[in-house]
Amino acid sequence: MKVKRYVGETVQEAMQKVKSDLGRDAIILNTRKMRRKGLMGFFAKPLIEVVATVDNDILLGVGPDKQQDAGPKEHDSNQEYNSEAENFIKELNEKMQGQKVGTPKSKSAKLDEYDDKKLIQQDFLELKNMLNKVYDAVKVDYENIKLSDNVRKYLKVLEDSEVDKVIINEIKDKLMDTLDDEKQRSDVIVRNAIYNILCGYMKEPEPFSFSRGKKVVIVIGPTGVGKTTTLAKLAANMVLTEKKKVGLITSDTYRIAAVEQLKTYSEIIGVPLSIIYTPGEISSAIEKYGDKDLILVDTAGRSHKDKYQLMELKTLIKSSIDYEVYMVISATTKFSDCIEIIKNYSFLDDYKLLFTKLDETSAFGVILNVAYITKKPVSYITTGQSVPDDIEIADNGKIINCVLGDKLYERSS
């Protein structure tokens, strides 16, 4: 089968092109309205696109002369449907040759009229589903034809950075709508266009600010992402750089090593540490630090699959009146796991993102993906284990450039 696309000002014009090119035996796969290119396309009447096909056996049967009249043979490899479309077309052809639509199968020969109609509808839906698959496959190939090598290159970079396919497809559509062929041939224009689109997916960073009037920061997140070390970095920077009085609280009594680690950090930095064993103790611990400018609360590294521990965390957070929450996620975490983490912390109305271990990954797409689906700002990022050095306020431009292939976060020595 040959699958081709026709565009006209009206349905009649598009259908006439189909008839002239493929003849009366053409099969219409899909029709849709499409916006014209350029800014004026928003205000102009849409074009009509028709995707049609014709069985090659039919063309061969009418003789070589008439086959040539059906239209010039195209041999552009970019315009040939891919193997997926070919398989669907083959499946469709076998379906159509194997039985007529609505014809009862042998086991259904004695069905009454109601069952006949049901069978016809069932066959029709199967054929319609296959046709939709064919169209989707052909549509992907057609869109790719319209993309320059520069656009393809950067879409591949996004894919290698593990940017989610939904985002990549959205970017592709925006580029097709905004960049003509000439602009697509410019590497600078294409990169800048993608950069600007990605900027729109990330909120401005929101690091801690005393001006917001909140003095309690609660750090949450799954196990193994580096919450305790990150908390120590924040505390050290507030003490050494901001010259603020800081108090530490930990509820991470599940791991003795975590308590000892934070106790060591508190002694080095010169700040007090309180240990609480139940969510109800946090209020008194906060009151104890009434003279402090900032109180940092470390929580246990709950597995996002442990419902009991998550409920305990929910109780802990609800017992704190005036606080900010930082959700800590490792940049090495798979996006599918990030989705599960976010889903299980859905009881939180407001939080900021904090990504760790940027020095341990070369695929920064997960940061973009999480910012995109949560619509939450990234506050800080960490790039190593050194306290207090390997932490910085998030820079969206720097993160996006890393997504686009730049190597800006080096492993600490």
**Residue 166: CB partners within 8 Å, gap ≥ 6?**
none
Supply the pLDDT for residue 61: 41
pTM for this predicted structure? 0.64
Query: Are the C-beta atoms of 297 and 289 separated by less than 8 Å?
Result: no
Q: How far is the C-alpha of 174 from the C-alpha of 159, rounded, in Å?
A: 17
Looking at domain 210-403, its CATH superfamily turns out to be P-loop containing nucleotide triphosphate hydrolases (3.40.50.300)
Integer Cα distance of 354 and 207 in angstroms: 9
In this structure, which amino acid lies at residue 123? D
Tokens of 118: 């049901």
User: Tell me, what's the pLDDT at 10?
Assistant: 84
Low-confidence ranges of the chain (pLDDT < 50): 57-81, 99-105, 107, 111, 140-142, 304, 412-413
- Angle, helices 227-240 vs 256-269, to 10°: value is 10
Q: How high is the pLDDT of residue 54?
A: 74
Q: Which of 412, 392, 383, 388 is nearest to 269 (CA)?
A: 388
Name the percent of the chain in helix, strand, coil, to the closest 5. Answer: 50, 15, 35
d(CA 125, CA 129): 6
Domains of the chain: which residue ranges?
2-134, 149-199, 210-403
- Reference 274, options 241, 252, 291; nearest CA is 252
* d(C-alpha 302, C-alpha 227), whole Å: 11
CA torsion 113-119-122-126 (nearest 10°) is -140
CA-closest candidate to residue 124, choices 93, 97, 102, 94: 102
pLDDT reported for residue 366: 96
Helix (H, G, I), strand (E, B) or coil at 287: helix
Tokens of 256: 């003795």
Convert the pLDDT of each residue in 318-338 to its tens digit. 665 678 899 999 999 999 899
